[in-house]
């Protein structure tokens, strides 16, 4: 008799999801799926709105990475306006996006994943949380909180709000950077370096103890995609997309936002509300690819900042070609953060950074526009069509979690097949299957605010739907 | 980056798009208007209480948490003591309760305000809409009075726990 194991909802993620594991008659894993169970509807209800409202509307998709939506949306609007924004505005947006990346990665690494990394995947779940981390390594807890604070405070200084700042608008930003705010951000940089270096050193020591997990946590050949600059260094806000194969060969380069849909298609599956992105020439699912920190480090030749370049060189020693194990997303996240801090420091020394000219203006000059940026979790693309009055007639968003969707599903299946035998599983196994998803740090729908606590429930069901076992925590 | 030491932190929580869940941010706005010229007070409002707020709490001599309640009667105004407690409740995700935030401040930064109170207003509706229900609207005048009296008494006798 076949059985189904359901992990519902998965914990320590941004948003709500669940995992279903289908066992065969022998109790071994036949199939597994990661489900996103909420529908959001942003693409539909934005129809009829003026295009210039889109950045602030789209930012509401997410409370963790609103800045990426702001930036991608504003860029799509600027394509409609046919304007090039001032240099200073581009630099300020870049800094804002990097600050968001640092705070989001700090949340993912320190708050959501470090309990597993520090205390172990089999540790008592009653202690496997931030208090457990604080009790065991308080300096690590302080570093995580300080790095998140670093990113959030920059967002607050630039955009006047930690969450959903309205500062980024079509054409640039609403206000220039003040000398006082520049100096305040610069004063925070040394502490941020101290904290990220502490985290990198600590991770380097513990990573080897997870070799068994590295082998089976979504570890398979795939394509990778991300933004890079013309000099092949990493980029979060401008640049163009590069897509490589599992051996590191370049499949497509220089994919600008207006060419995104030529290269990337979206498939749907009956078990999830999230779409599944794929590289069109290879079809679905063969053309599925990964985005985010791991992909960024795999596609870039350099970080473009000295300290992060040293770390990138060390990262590339993990494999002769692209690093395939998704456990290494954790490592890549730390390199991203180091790069972010260095780049913010570089941007602040730009002689034009206090320039007052930070916004271009125009009306509707094209009836379609697309914009792309790197969100913390990976590439994000917004594409809009408008009528002659600038009202949205159609919108499409390709989010990072959708682009990682196939890899997450494959990863859940890989781990479940490795760990679950004869229908038996432990809490530690359950946590490992969840931890595979956490390596990607998916953002499912976090602005759908949940009231109350989210329990974790695991149900073991027969093929007929009869409840055979149930575990909650 | 260390927050400026504060005599009294007013820390509100809530989502203004979930009807009465927005009462925390509403009261934070009122407190900001009332105390903006008084350096003894600092007002913060967040959609969720996240771990990094422990830094702000550790820098305060007293703290008043402000939130809505889904347990008490609609419009009921409650003031209760809060003590540091590192329980698993709420720790699986990235938001924390008032007790957990106090515990985190104490554990990480060696200091938590000894005087910590939680002011709540019972919610009538947490539906997806802006604005407050009639029950919560009706409770606002007495809630503001209680908030004002409470924080003024907190700054009159600040106490703290040191490690």
How confident is the model over A2-29, as pLDDT tens digits?
666 666 655 555 555 678 888 888 888 8
| pLDDT greater at residue B139 or residue A447 | B139
Residue of A nearest to B91 (CA): A129
Q: Which two tokens stand for residue A428?
A: 């530690």
The alpha helices in chain B, defined as continuous H runs, are: 23-35, 53-58, 98-109, 134-156
Cβ-Cβ contacts under 8 Å, A146 against chain B? 1, 52, 55
What's the pLDDT tens digit per position in A296-329?
999 999 999 999 999 999 999 999 999 999 999 9
Alpha-carbon gap: B50 to the closest alpha carbon of chain A (Å): 9
Query: Could you tell me the pLDDT band of residue B161, with boundaries at 50, 70 and 90?
Result: low
Length of chain A: 473
pLDDT of residue A450: 34
DSSP letters spanning A337-384: HHHHHHHHHHHHT-TTTT-S--B-------SEEEEEEEETTEEEEEEE
Residues A160, A178: contact at Cβ < 8 Å? no
**pLDDT over 60 at B5, yes or no:** yes
Question: What is the complex's ipTM, to 2 decimals?
Answer: 0.74
Q: Which residue of A has its CA nearest to B48?
A: A449
The answer, for A364 touching chain B at a CB cutoff of 8 Å, is: no
- What's the pLDDT score for residue B157? 61
Token pair 């989502």 is found at: B15
pLDDT of residue A442: 83
Would the pLDDT of B122 be above 80?
yes
Query: Which pLDDT tens digit goes with each residue over A384-414?
Result: 999 999 999 999 999 898 899 999 999 999 9
* Closest CA in chain A for residue B100: A131
Asked if A129 lies within 8 A of B55 by C-beta distance, the reply is no
Q: Chain A residues with CB inside 8 Å of B109's CB?
A: 142
Cα–Cα distances in Å, from A421 out to A31, A203, A418, A429?
A: 13, 31, 8, 11
Whether the per-residue pLDDT at A269 is higher than 90: the answer is no
Contacts of B92 in chain A (CB under 8 A): 11-12, 129, 453-454, 456
pLDDT at residue number B144: 98
Sheet holding A223-228, edge to edge: A250-255, A240-244, A223-228, A289-290
Percent of chain A with pLDDT over 90: 68
Q: Please, what is the angle between helix B134-156 and helix B23-35, to 10°? A: 50
Per the CB < 8 A criterion, the answer to whether A298 and A252 are in contact is no
Q: What is the DSSP string of A157-188?
A: HHHSSSSS---EETTEESSPPPHHHHHHHHHH
- Shortest distance, CA B156 to any CA of chain A (angstroms): 30
Separation of alpha carbons A226 and A337, rounded Å: 16
Which of B2, B92, B129 to substitute to test the interface with A, most A CBs within 10 Å? B92
Residues A93, A143, A428: CA angle, nearest 5 degrees: 105
Q: Look at chain B and count its residues.
A: 163
pLDDT at A60: 78
Specify the DSSP element, H or E, that contains B43: strand B41-46
To the nearest whole percent, how much of chain B has pLDDT over 90? Answer: 66
Q: List, for residues A97-108, the tens digit of each pLDDT value.
A: 999 999 999 989
Secondary structure of residue A409 in the 3-state scheme: helix
Q: Which residue of A has its CA nearest to B104?
A: A131
Tokens of A132: 């457990």
CA A239, A242, A244 angle in degrees (round to 5)?
Answer: 160
By the CB < 8 Å criterion, does B47 face chain A? yes
Cβ of residue A242 closer than 8 Å to a chain B Cβ: no
Across the interface, which of A14, A107, A131 has its CB nearest the CB of B86? A131
Beta-carbon pairs below 8 A across chains A and B? 77
What pLDDT, on the 0 to 100 scale, is given for residue A468? 55
- pTM of this prediction? 0.87
Contacts A63 to B, Cβ<8 Å: 47-48
Distance CA A247, CA A253 (A): 16
Is residue B91 less than 8 Å (CB to CB) from chain A? yes
Query: Which one of A40, A128, A129, A163 makes the best mutation probe of the B interface by having the most chain B beta carbons within 10 Å?
Result: A129
Q: Which of B36, B28, B18 is nearest to B119 (CA)?
A: B28
Instruction: Give me the phi and psi of A355, to 5 degrees please.
Output: -55, 145
Reply yes or no on whether the pLDDT at B131 is more than 70. yes
Residue B89, pLDDT score: 47
Contact B18 A451 (CB under 8 A): yes
Residue B69: other Cβ atoms inside 10 A? 18
Query: Across the interface, which of A145, A163, A191 has its CB nearest the CB of B52?
Result: A145
User: Does residue A63 sit at the B interface (CB-CB below 8 Å)?
Assistant: yes
- Are B1 and A135 inside 8 Å of each other by CB? no
pLDDT at residue A203 greater than cutoff 80:
yes
Paired strand residues for A21:
A5, A32
Q: What is the pLDDT of residues A146-188, one digit of tens each?
A: 999 999 999 999 987 766 677 999 999 999 999 999 999 999 9
Give the chain B residue whose CA is nearest to the CA of A142.
B108
Number of Cβ within 10 Å of residue B15's Cβ equals 21
Determine contact: B86 vs chain A, CB below 8 A: yes
pLDDT band at A428 (very low <50, low <70, confident <90, very high): confident
């Amino acid at each position: 008799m076949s059985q189904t194991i359901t992990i519902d909802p998965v914990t320590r993620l941004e948003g709500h999801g669940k995992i279903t594991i289908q066992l065969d008659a022998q109790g071994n894993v036949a199939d597994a799926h990661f489900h996103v169970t909420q529908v959001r509807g942003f693409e539909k209800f934005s129809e009829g709105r003026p295009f210039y409202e889109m950045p602030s509307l789209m930012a509401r998709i997410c409370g963790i990475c609103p800045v990426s939506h702001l930036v991608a949306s504003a860029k799509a609007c600027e394509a409609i306006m046919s304007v090039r924004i001032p240099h200073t505005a581009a630099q300020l947006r870049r800094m804002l996006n990097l600050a968001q990346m640092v705070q989001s990665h700090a949340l993912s690494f320190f708050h959501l994943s470090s309990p597993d990394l520090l205390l172990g995947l089999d540790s008592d779940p009653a202690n496997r949380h931030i208090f457990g981390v604080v009790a065991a390594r308080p300096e690590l807890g302080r570093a995580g909180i300080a790095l998140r604070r670093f990113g959030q405070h920059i967002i607050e200084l630039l955009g006047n709000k930690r969450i959903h700042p309205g500062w980024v608008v079509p054409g640039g930003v609403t206000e220039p950077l003040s000398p006082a705010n520049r100096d305040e951000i610069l004063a925070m940089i040394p502490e941020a370096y101290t904290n990220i270096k502490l985290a990198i050193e600590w991770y380097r020591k513990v990573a080897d103890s997870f070799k068994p997990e590295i082998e089976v946590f979504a570890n398979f050949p795939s394509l990778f995609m991300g933004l890079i600059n013309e000099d092949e260094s990493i980029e979060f806000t401008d640049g163009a997309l590069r897509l490589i194969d599992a051996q590191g060969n370049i499949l497509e380069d220089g994919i600008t936002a207006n060419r995104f849909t030529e290269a990337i298609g979206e498939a749907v599956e009956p078990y999830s509300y999230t779409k599944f992105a794929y590289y069109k020439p290879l079809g679905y699912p063969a053309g599925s690819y990964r985005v985010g920190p791991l992909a960024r480090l795999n596609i870039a030749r350099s970080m473009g900042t000295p300290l992060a370049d040293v770390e990138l060189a060390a990262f590339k020693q993990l494999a002769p070609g692209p690093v395939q194990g998704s456990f290494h997303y954790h490592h890549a996240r730390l390199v991203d953060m180091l790069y972010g801090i260095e780049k913010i420091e570089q941007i602040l020394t730009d002689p034009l950074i206090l320039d007052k000219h930070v916004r271009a203006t125009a009306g509707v000059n094209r009836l379609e526009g697309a914009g792309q940026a790197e969100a913390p979790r990976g590439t994000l693309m917004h594409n809009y069509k408008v009528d002659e009055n600038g009202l949205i007639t159609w919108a499409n968003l390709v989010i990072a979690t959708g682009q990682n969707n196939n890899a997450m599903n494959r990863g859940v299946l890989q781990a479940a097949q490795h760990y679950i035998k004869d229908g038996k599983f432990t809490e530690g196994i359950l946590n490992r299957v969840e931890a595979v998803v956490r390596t990607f740090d998916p953002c499912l729908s976090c602005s759908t605010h949940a009231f109350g606590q989210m329990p974790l429930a695991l149900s073991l069901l027969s093929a007929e739907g009869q409840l055979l076992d149930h575990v909650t925590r | 980056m260390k927050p400026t030491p504060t005599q009294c932190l007013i820390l509100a929580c809530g989502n203004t798009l979930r009807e009465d869940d927005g009462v925390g941010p509403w009261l934070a706005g009122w407190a900001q208007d009332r105390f903006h010229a008084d350096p003894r007070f600092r007002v913060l409002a967040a959609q969720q209480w996240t771990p990094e707020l422990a830094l702000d709490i550790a820098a305060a001599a007293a703290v008043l948490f402000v939130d809505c309640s889904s347990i008490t009667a609609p419009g009921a105004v409650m003031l209760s003591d809060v003590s540091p407690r590192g329980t698993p409740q709420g720790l699986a995700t990235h938001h924390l309760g008032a007790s957990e935030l106090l515990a985190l401040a104490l554990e990480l930064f060696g200091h938590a305000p000894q005087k910590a109170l939680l002011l709540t207003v019972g919610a009538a509706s947490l539906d997806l809409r802006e604005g407050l229900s009639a029950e919560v609207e009706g409770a606002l005048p007495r809630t503001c009075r209680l908030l004002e009296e409470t924080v003024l008494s907190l700054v009159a006798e600040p106490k703290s726990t040191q490690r």
